[in-house]
Amino acid sequence: MIKVEIFKNGEGKISGYEVTGHSGTAARGEDIVCAGVSALAQTALLGIGKHLHRETDYEVASGKLSMKLKGAPDDLTEAVLQSMLLGLREIEKLTPKAVRINER
């Protein structure tokens, strides 16, 4: 199962996220669920760093991607991260046994 933790600040804006695990729905290298989740999470990380020029702490490893904003979230980071979350929620709806999202 892929577990997604979405971290929010006191104002309810997303300040970071962590994606761990594998979906187990297909063989390694052929798992479209894992590929979709990974693509969304990595694109958000890249967009925040390269397009918005925000600093982050992040870790990328097999079966894990985590990101935390170094500064406070703003409307632009929120737009990127909420877009990521929309995509992840759609994948969760289609494959509820493979993806679980928790917000805190």
Domains of the chain: 2-103 (3.30.70.1490)
Q: Is the pLDDT of residue 62 over 90?
A: no
Query: In percent, how much of the chain has pLDDT > 90?
Result: 88
Whether the predicted pLDDT of 29 surpasses 70: no
8 Å CB contact between 103 and 8: yes
Mean pLDDT of the region 63-79? 97
- Among 5, 3, 6, 1, residue whose Cα is nearest residue 82: 6
C-alpha to C-alpha distances, 93 to 38, 71, 90, 97, nearest whole angstrom: 16, 32, 5, 9
pLDDT higher than 70, residue 31: yes
- pTM equals 0.94
